[in-house]
Each structure stands twice: as structure tokens, then as C-alpha cells.
Structure 1
Amino acid sequence: MNIFRKLLFPFAILYGWVTTIRNFLFDQGLKKSTAFDVPVIAVGNLSVGGTGKTPQIEYLVRLLCDTYKVATLSRGYKRQSKGFVLADKNANALILGDEPFQYYQKFPKIQVAVDADRTNGIQQLLSQKTNPEIILLDDAYQHRKVKAGLYILLTAYGDLYADDFILPTGNLRESRSSADRAKIVIVTKCPATLSIEAQQKIATKLKLNTNQDLFFTTIQYDAVVLGDDKVIPVDHLKNDQKILLAGIAKPKPFFDFLKNDSDICLTYPDHHHFSDNDLNDILLKANGKKIITTEKDYVRLKDSVLKKQLYYLPIRSHFLNKEQNFQHSILNFITSF
């Protein structure tokens, strides 16, 4: 934590009081929170970005979409459209935002919608000719106007909410006590070799309630990179000179997985919209070499001037243990409706 953020401590206290009062009003029913007659699962975090919400939503989609009619509902961060939008053949990353467009492209069986007003978004989804049987809310932990049936809270290994402080001194959107709303807490981005003993130490630090379940996941990178009808094994790229490109919150693990000493790593802000100048600069630096990016960035770049040289590295959320317990918790919640 730098000195400037420490100086903002009084504002963090004020912000903490505001969010605490807001949550109290919702908890006491003094502010309206709408529940729905379908299973609604909210996935989110307490901190600002970088906890792995997208692979976790995709995990849930894979778990459920062959059995149920699934819809995802996101805010559509940095999209250029307004209001409720249901993805169709005309959709793109500018209309939906990058993550929702990624869901739409990867999972043709599901409905993908965006709306900053999640209550209206759910109502609109339920008014469609084909009603979803399950709605997954992406990054909606703080959206208290919807009362989800199940809250899943993500916190990144090495950046646990228990070690953080509220904005602007720290990176928390609300106080650590807000973790109590979650039925399931997942520590994401763990080392694949994280021991049971180390997991127990984290559990002790988080101090969860007896009715909360704790799980640990890691990011599993694919063995291939994918492009426009092209597939290249990662092993074939390790020693090649290439451009590694990321516009995500915490790109270091992506770079570390692929890079060698001759690579050029280009970092952009999370959800960055690439300008023509950006693209020309990347193209110049690449000088004919392959450009490897994240899946989230690829959906924004795949139709750009980079497309002939562009590839992305798929990722998945992988449970270190107790995966069946997690799946049973999700399925038991759904069948309880």
C-alpha cells in the first residue's frame, strides 16, 4: 500500500460507513430487493477486478447447460449500447462487452444478456419466448436490488479480502464482513500444488461461518493456442519470438506461462478498447511475428488488422479438490426450487 493511499484512509472510513449503511437497509428490508421464482446465482467479489469471475461463470455454464436452459446476465462493462440487450447474430464486443460476447460465442445453447439494471434484466429475460430455468449473474455481488438465491464470492490467492481494506486505501468495494452473504467462497488462482495444510491456514484466516462452504481453484491453461481456424501447441511456441498482449486486470500469470526472454509483453488497461493507433503500433512491434493474447482480448481483436497473426490462450477454472461437493451444492440449490 503506497503512502498516497494511506493518506486517503479517512475517505475509506467514510466509504465504509456508506456501504455498511446501504447493506443494513437492504438487510432490514428498508430498501427494496427483488427475489425471483427461478434459481438466480450471483458470482462476484469484494475487491476490484482480477479474481477470475469469467472462468467461474464458464464453469457453471458447462456444468448446467446440457440439463437446463441457462442465461447469463452481465452489466456489459464498457459496452457502447444502453439498457437491456439480448445477444443475437448481430452481437459483438462493442454491443455486449467483451466477457458477455465471449460467453455468447462459446456457448450457443445459452441466452446471454446485458443490463446495468439487473432487476430489469431478469424481468426481460423471463418475458422472452424461451424462459431461462437458471440465471447466472456475472459480477453482481454488490447489486443488492436483486436478491439472488445463491451467492458465490471469489477471492484471489495472494490477494485475499481478509488481508485487504476498503477503497480508496485498499481495493475492497465493501467491508470484509459482507462476505457473510456468500454461501460459497472460492479462493481462486491458487498454485496447482497448494497443500491441504496451506488451504487450512487460509480457511483460518477467512473465518467463515459454519453455514459457508470454502473451495480452492487454480487457473488451468490450455495446451494449445487458437486463432482463425488455426491451432498451435503451446510447446511449439515456447522458444519462438512472439508478442504477448493482455488488456486484463492482472496479466502476470498469462505472461509467465508463455514468455521467453526474447518476447515482447504489451500491457493495456482492463477492458481496453484498442484504437487504430494501438493496433498499428502492435502490428509494427510484431513485425510479422505471432501475437498471443487472452481469450477476453481476442473477442475484441479477432476482426482487426491483427487477425492473421493473432491467437489466444484458453483458460479454465480447475478445482484443487472437493469438486463434486461444489457441484452437489449447486445442483442441490437448483433442485430446491
Structure 2
Amino acid sequence: KKDFEIAVLSRGYGRKTASYIEVKPTANYTEVGDEPLQIKCKFPSVKVSVENNRVKGILNILYDYPKIDLIVLDDAYQHRAIKPGLNILLTKYNSPFYKDFIFPVGYLRESAKGSKRADIIIITKCPEKITKSQMQIVEKAISTNAKIYFTKTKYGAITPLFNSSRISLDSSYTILLITGIASTEGITSKLKNEKLNFKHLNYRDHYPFSNKDADKISEIFDTFATGNKIILTTEKDAMRLKGLKKFNSLPVYYIPIKIEFISEKETFDQKLINYAANN
């Protein structure tokens, strides 16, 4: 990131706009989508844009920023109009593509044989203490010429969404957990493992929280006994909650995440650097 000018292009799932937009940290998720906004807030120096037509999106990026070295396409593995120079396929450890089926029976958009197009395969959300033999089982099942990397999700210190003071959670806190993501297993497991007391309100992925939802959440939060209590959410959900004024006066926090390579991070970085430098 320090050596190259990088841009990210996404369709901006769930946004109410359709045209090309460059994402700013101050944008509303309804304009650009929650995930592109999350990327921009996390990596401010990276150019992030949304456009339904990826070809037009790339042309717009190159017109605005002709010195861009690398464009990362989000969720474009099946996009046929653009031939990428480097294909990276992500698959979850607990639900890998080779155990899945094509929609509507499963979640795949194409046959698992499509994985052969990948130059790199990243196994995400691996167990904290995954063993070498467990990794070898996955590598054998995939049976590919692509380089395979294993990663895990790491949670950072809880962060105030607005102006609340920083805190360290312990058993004295009562937590109202708000989520609207595809899988809540990671964050709920973390809270359970830390023996924290929480009530969970779970919404569908990309759920567009409204003022009515904010009122309901506030009412439930008010039923909690006085004392140490907070509203907690994910980093992605925070992008959708921060636009609701109702939450400004409430102690709302989110847990930032980062992806950590279990091994060979330097090899992965160097592969991307070599690609960017030679193309």
C-alpha cells in the first residue's frame, strides 16, 4: 500500500444510487454501500469507488487517477467482461466451496471447477489454533496449482462509534449486541468465550436500519438495569448505524476486525508486489 497507488471498485451492494461514485469517509452507506464505506474508513488513502458497470467503473478510475497502479475488484470472480491479471478466490474454512453446491441447492454461483481459474486461494475464518494437518486436509481437498493461504479473523479493542469514552469490557457490563451480517458466529463466540452478558438482536445481512429500528433498539436498551451497559455492533454494521441520530446520545461501540495470515504473509505480499510492479 505504501509503494503503490491502489483503487478498489465495488458495485456497492444495497446502495440506493446507480451511477459511478467515489466513496468518501463522510458518505452515507445508502449512497455507496456499507462494505465500500467500511473499506474507505479503514484505509483512507485507498481510492474506493462504486459502479454497477465494472468496465465503466475502471475507465472512470483511470480517468480520474491515471497513476493508479492496481485496481482491486470486489466480488468479481465470475465477471466475464473483464479479464483480471490476478484472480484471488476466498472461501471460508467451515464452509469451503468444494463442499458446496450451485444455487439454489447451495450458495455457489458456478461449479466448484471454476476454482481452477484462481491464481491464489485464501481460506478465511480459520480456527485460532488450526493445525498443520488440518491445513493439509484442505489443501488436498482443493487439489489446485494455485497458491493457498490460511487466514483468521482478529478482533481489536472496542471503539466508540460517536463520542463515548473508551472502555474495557468485563462481566460488570450488560451488552445489547446489534448485528446485520451474514454470519454472527465470530462475534458471538468472542463474547461467550469472554463470559460477557449480552442480549442479541440479529437482522439480515446488509439490513437497512431505519429510525423506527433505532427507536425499538433504544427502547430495549432502556429496559436494561442502570449501571454499566452499552450497545455493541460490528464494524460493518457501524457503517449503517452511524447515520441514525437516535444513536448519537447512546453509548454505541463497535469491534474493529483485521485479517491475519497464519503463515506466509510475506510470500503473499511479495506476490502482489511483483504483480503490480510487472503489469
Q: Tell me, yes or no, whether TM beats 0.5.
A: yes
Aligned-pair CA distance for 1:87: 2.2
Q: Secondary structure at the match of 1:155?
A: strand
Residue of structure 2 equivalent to 1:69: 5
- Whether 2:92 is the aligned partner of 1:156: answer yes
- The 1:89/1:156 distance shift into structure 2, 3 A limit, reads closer
What is the aligned length? Answer: 270
Residue of structure 1 equivalent to 2:17: 81
Amino acid at match of 1:216: F
Residue of structure 2 equivalent to 1:214: 148
Q: Find the aligned partners of 2:171 and 2:8 in 1 and give their Cα distance.
A: 35
Q: Find the aligned partners of 1:88 and 1:160 in 2 and give their Cα distance.
A: 34
Higher RCO (Cα < 8 Å, 6 or more apart): 1
Q: Secondary structure at the match of 1:232?
A: coil
Q: Tell me the alpha carbon deviations over residues 116-159 of structure 1, each in whole angstroms, 9 at most, x when there is no partner.
A: 11111001111115542211111111112111111110110110
Q: Find the aligned partners of 1:232 and 1:202 in 2 and give their Cα distance.
A: 40
Q: How does 1:1-337 map to 2 (within 5 A)?
A: 64=1, 66-88=2-24, 91-129=27-65, 131-209=67-145, 212-230=146-164, 232-234=166-168, 236-259=169-192, 260=195, 262-287=197-222, 289-304=229-244, 305-307=246-248, 308-337=250-279
Aligned-pair CA distance for 1:227: 2.7
Amino acid at match of 1:251: T
Q: Find the aligned partners of 2:28 and 2:211 in 1 and give their Cα distance.
A: 18
What is the RMSD of the two structures over their aligned residues, measured on CA atoms?
1.7
Contact 1:125 1:131 in 2 (8 A): no
- The 1:228/1:237 distance shift into structure 2, 3 A limit, reads farther
Q: Find the aligned partners of 2:158 and 2:79 in 1 and give their Cα distance.
A: 37
**TM-score under structure 1 normalisation?**
0.76
Q: Secondary structure at the match of 2:212?
A: helix
Q: Tell me the alpha carbon deviations over residues 56-109 of structure 1, each in whole angstroms, 9 at most, x when there is no partner.
A: xxxxxxxx2x21111110010010111211124762211100011122223221
- The 1:238/1:148 distance shift into structure 2, 3 A limit, reads farther
Deviating more after overlay: 92-101 vs 281-290? 281-290
Q: Tell me the alpha carbon deviations over residues 269-304 of structure 1, each in whole angstroms, 9 at most, x when there is no partner.
A: 111101222111111111173111001110111132
Aligned-pair CA distance for 1:239: 4.2
- The 1:294/1:265 distance shift into structure 2, 3 A limit, reads same
Over the matched positions of the two proteins, sequence identity in percent amounts to 35
Contact 1:224 1:231 in 2 (8 A): no
